[in-house]
Amino acid sequence: MSDGSEDEYVEYVSARVPALRRLAYMLSGDGHRADDLVQQTITTLYVKWGRARTADNLDAYVRTMLVRTYLDEKRLAWARVRLFRETPEPPPAEEQTGNVEDRQVVRAALSRVPRR
């Protein structure tokens, strides 16, 4: 982009990043994911800037890019992975269903069942 269009890109992106981030946050519900979505969108916009700047409604074009980036990311398998601060622990023995006597009866019954 040596024809001055890079300056146009920087000016446009600088003005639109807050609005894009708000939209990304509304979609994802997470500030970090919103930042990632905006970064991916403006990177793709940079690559396609020559064609994008001739769009009739550039804001709608970029918002559509952001929504499609979000949807594409949601389709990936890693998007279904849930991260937790702490490892989920099994419930304590007191909260498990059944009591000690029931477990002893079941174990005794299983010990009488032949291996085959």
2 — pLDDT class (breaks 50, 70, 90): low
Number of domains in the chain: 1
Which domain does 36 fall in, by range? 5-78
Asked if residue 94 belongs to a domain, the reply is: no
How far is it, in rounded angstroms, from Cα 99 to Cα 106?
11
Token pair 């009739």 is found at 56
- Any domain includes 114: no
- Which of 52, 44, 51, 46 is closest to 69 using CA atoms? 44
Residue 114's φ and ψ, nearest 5 degrees, are: -65, 155
User: Tell me: the pLDDT tens digits for 65-98?
Assistant: 999 999 998 888 666 677 777 777 776 666 555 6
Q: Judge contact between 44 and 35, C-beta under 8 A.
A: no
Q: Is residue 27 part of a domain?
A: yes
What pTM was estimated for this model as a whole?
0.64
Q: At 48, which CATH number? A: 1.10.1740
Q: Does residue 33 surpass a pLDDT of 80?
A: yes
The span from the CA of 7 to the CA of 13, in Å, is 10
The amino acid sitting at 95 is: E
- 99 falls within a domain: no
Cβ-based burial of 37 (10 A; exposed 0-12, middle 13-18, buried ≥19)? buried
**Beta-strand runs (E) in the chain:** none
Domain assignment present for 29: yes
Half-sphere exposure in the Cβ direction for 98 (13 Å, CA): 8
In a domain, 18, yes or no: yes
